[in-house]
Amino acid sequence: MPEAKIAPSILAGDFGNLSSECKRMMHNGADWLHIDIMDGHFVPNLTIGAPVVTCIRGTLPKGESFFDCHMMVSEPERWVEDFAKAGGDLYCFHYEATKDPAALIDKIHAAGMRAGCAIKPATPASVVFELVPKLEMVLVMTVEPGFGGQKFMKDCMPKVEELRTKFPDLDIEVDGGLGPATIDFAADAGANVIVAGTGVFLAEDPKSVIQLLRDTVNKKQLE
């Protein structure tokens, strides 16, 4: 199982001070920054686009920070080049949003980014099995995509278990309702990339929360 990667979701940050919020998370020990891109069509919410990511990247150089771009958008093929130019490191599209995921993965790689594929709570893990050899990551949503602060859906954990059993070396990400109270469920199931929004950004001591999440995942690997 790959090592733990803690990816605070900037959706829970102060959008008026995104660069400083991102720097704050990196200073507190984040491994990745999870950037939620929503188009108001694939999901009923609207967040940011490539121009804002470009601005953030201008204050957090590549090599010093890893941008995990979660594309909750229709026609994710349209935005690959834009996010590559903006400084994205990983482009994670939704399986439900594309007709040709294999071709999209090739396009992402050609643009110089890692490729991830996300699945909604109702989508079975089996849909990505044939894609995994081409992917760097699979994201199992543990809430319905679109809004932060939702309650963790424990019944999504069997999908994580299924993926970990079948693909022991794959980065498996979970996103939605993760924090100190729910991390054990995700770690026990085999997730190693942990997205946490309000659980980290609103914590009195974000550094200790990030470390707790990391330690919980890494400890599970040793059992």
Q: Is 98 left (phi over 0), alpha (psi -120 to 50) or beta?
A: beta
Domains and CATH numbers, the chain: 5-222 (3.20.20.70)
At residue 149, the pLDDT reads 67
The band of 13, judged by pLDDT with boundaries at 50, 70 and 90, is very high
What confidence tens digit (pLDDT) does each residue in 40-61 have? 999 988 999 999 999 999 999 9
Q: What is the pLDDT of residue 150?
A: 74
Could you tell me if 37 and 47 are in contact, meaning their C-beta atoms sit under 8 angstroms apart? yes
pLDDT-derived band at 144, boundaries 50, 70, 90: confident
What are 145-177's pLDDT values in tens digits?
866 667 899 999 999 999 999 999 999 999 999
Residue type, 57: R
Q: What backbone torsions phi and psi does residue 142 show, to the nearest 5 degrees?
A: -110, 15
Integer Cα distance of 125 and 46 in angstroms: 27
Name the phi and psi angles at 54, rounded to 5. Answer: -60, -45
Which residue, 179, 189, 173, is CA-closest to 66? Answer: 173
For residue 97, what are its two tokens? Answer: 């949003």
Give DSSP secondary structure letters for 65-84. Answer: B-EEEEEE-SSGGGGHHHHH
Inter-residue contact 21 to 47 (CB < 8 Å): no
Buried b / exposed e along 147-177 (16+ C-beta atoms within 10 A): ebebebbeebbebbebbbeebeebbbbbbbb
Catalytic residue set: 36, 175
Q: DSSP assignment of 188-216, as one string?
A: HHT--EEEESHHHHT-S-HHHHHHHHHHH
* CA angle at 171 for the pair 86 and 206, rounded to the nearest 5°: 70
CA pair distance 202, 169, nearest whole angstrom: 32
- Distances from the Cα of 150 to the Cα of 23, 41, 85, 144, angstroms: 25, 19, 31, 8
